[in-house]
A and B are shown apart, each in its own frame.
Chain A
Amino acid sequence: MKTYYMPNRYPIQFLGGIFSKMLNDAFAIEVNNLTKIYDKVSVVNDLTINIKKGEIFGFLGPNGAGKTTTIKSILGLIYKDSGTIKINGKDISTDEKKIKEKIGYLPERVAFYDNLTALQNLYFYAEMKNIPKGQCVKLLIDMGLKEHAHKKVGKFSHGMRQRLGMARAMIGNPSLLILDEPTGGLDPHGVKLIREKMKELNKKGATIFVSSHILSEIQAVADQVGIINKGKIVAQNSVNKLSDHLRIKPKLILELEKIPKEIINSLRSMKGIEKMDIKGNTLEIICNPEKRAKVIVAIEKAGINVINIKTKEPDLEEVFMRYTEGQ
């Protein structure tokens, strides 16, 4: 004899459960209408950003745009004037300690207890997160600070502090890393190391929120990008889409002996050239990198000598200008 347990409802409930769980779990950070006022000036103004779990989110903006203020509000370091902030679906004030257990933070200005050694510092933070001390040694080795483990942090250089800061942020394998200008003032080797760590941790499932004022920095690591200017989000998109939309491509700058009209016309008719400016004897061309050679060949064929060739990465100012132009 068969027993009948309403088989139709069960899968629906089950799916519904998963669906609501997905909704709840979808975002690592949700910031809605955040406003922070310092001395009657709003540093962050009605800002909304959502960061999905598992992504590397680049938070891009010039110095003084409100990046650090937003980050500090998310972490509960400063008090917002209005708006809501949720981490993993929860308000940080509801279960402060539990939420903080899973966060790693690298502040813009990395500081430690200068009287204590690198290892003593890490032990202190590990003890607070209830993490065995063994991980601290491993993290020091990972960040290339093995030889300096027993040196007082007061004697550390800026680059060493930054690396130690990254080690501190990684204690306890946090599911959310918030890194405020992590490569600021670092040597190329250190930059590479920190970028690798970001990608490695992200592969293991960590959500990474990284701020920078350098466009190429964000392009190098992030999947998603939010651009902040004067306390407001001006764009939020995937890095690829934003690059397309903003035509964020390096500029080809050619210094020619002369620029006759014919060559301009023939270049204009070439496919793949998006923008061309003429400044005296200099041509500034935005095109796909693979078109560069064709452009130069075309110019040489016309019998014009190329005096100098340069490429220029677009800077943030340009990105803002293009973005507002596009609107």
Chain B
Amino acid sequence: MKNNIFTVAKKEIMDNVRNKWILAVTILIIALTLLSSFAGSYWKSFEGTVSGMMATVTFFISIIGLMLGYGSIVGEVERGSMSSLITHPITRLEILLGKLIGNGIVLTFSILIGFGIGGIIVGFNVDDVNVLSFIVFIAASILIGLIFLSLSMLFSSLFKRRSMSMGLSIITWIFSLIIYPLIIGSILFATNADQFQEASRQNINSFIIPDWFYAADMANPTSAYSNLVSINVLDIDIYPSFVNNGSLLLILFLWLAIPLIFSYILFRKRDI
């Protein structure tokens, strides 16, 4: 029996290439990577450039992932095209995988364009470019984009209305990038007030951060991503031993897989 995953993936790509919002954010990513690669050239520092680009990733690639996914299921259900799709020779699992792959390719493509152009400029201007590190950086960036895609596909399978799925996607984005880091940061400051006061009185920049903070921080996919890039690309070594490639990749993998599994469970039993 013919497999229709790629037929759906191809359709998703054709449909989304025409999506003006995705195009707009991709252009924004290109502009911002150009900006950080020019700034990096000014500093002549590979690490500085990647740090600048990383901020772009966590902000905008997560948005692209969410934008591609939040309407993928509920949008077709609301519009009415899902009922026709399902009555064709395809299973619901294949539909879900086709959408994941198609949107994943669109996402990967916009990252590659943005970072490819940025990378060329970095290559021209920065002396100490580590190509392998840059590839690791791009791969990790694609992974974090896919995680947000998978999360928004879960919301898309869960909600009856597109607007609800979009709402939770926005909340997720704010929560992961702002609120959650703010909460654990506040707890850290509150519980270690003496240490920080002492450090600031003596005007020193080093203090002991307890392990729980690293653990809580790495549970957040955006932080797990930036920790991974910091360790492998920026050579930053301030982490306790349990924050390593294995544990970070495991966390990222779980953030990718678990929403997809629940997305399938919800979509499989959904009345269209």
A residues contacting B by CB (< 8 A) are 72, 75-79, 96-98, 100-101, 103, 105, 107, 109-116, 120, 124-125, 127-130, 168
Contacts and interface: CB of A to CB of B under 8 A. Distances in A.
A105 B2 contact: no
A75 B87 contact: yes
The 9 closest A-B pairs by CB, nearest first: A111-B80, A78-B271, A97-B89, A111-B81, A77-B272, A105-B87, A128-B88, A109-B80, A115-B18
A77 B83 contact: yes
Given A78-B271, A100-B87, A120-B14, 11 more contacts: A72-B271, A76-B86, A76-B87, A97-B89, A100-B88, A105-B87, A110-B80, A111-B80, A112-B81, A115-B18, A124-B11
Interface in B176-216: none
B7 A72 contact: no
Contacts of A168: 84
B7 A127 contact: yes
B245 interface: no
B91 to A, nearest CB: 6
Nearest to B271: A78
Nearest to A124: B11
Interface string B2-14: 1010010001001
B83 A100 contact: no
B88 A96 contact: no
B84 A128 contact: no
Given A77-B271, A127-B7, A103 B81 contact: no
A107 B1 contact: no
B269 A75 contact: no
Contact of A128 (B14, B79, B90): B90
B127 interface: no
B128 interface: no
A20 B14 CA distance: 48
A24 B232 CA distance: 65
A115 B81 CA distance: 12
A104 to B, nearest CB: 8
Interface in B8-40: 11, 14-15, 18-19
Given A97-B89, A101-B89, A113 B84 contact: no
Contacts of B1: 97-98
Interface string B231-272: 000000000000000000000000000000000000001011
Contacts of A120: 14
Contacts of B272: 72, 77-78
Among the interface residues A98, A128, A129, which one has the most CB atoms of the partner chain B within 10 A?
A128
A96 B91 contact: yes
B86 A124 contact: no
Interface string B146-177: 00000000000000000000000000000000
Contacts of B88: 100, 125, 128-129
A125 B7 CA distance: 9
A114 B86 CA distance: 18
A79 B80 contact: no
B164 to A, nearest CB: 18
B89 A113 contact: no
A114 B236 CA distance: 49
Contacts of A75: 83, 86-87
A96 to B, nearest CB: 6
Nearest to A96: B91
B84 to A, nearest CB: 6
Given A105-B84, A107-B84, A110-B80, A116 B90 contact: no
Interface string B51-88: 00000000000000000000000000001110110111
B80 A77 contact: no
Contacts of A130: 2, 89
Contacts of B269: 79
Contacts of B19: 115
Given A72-B272, A79-B269, A98 B84 contact: no
A110 B90 CA distance: 19
A75 B14 CA distance: 27
Given A78-B271, A113-B11, A115-B15, A72 B83 contact: yes
A90 B107 CA distance: 41
A100 B84 contact: no
B4 to A, nearest CB: 5
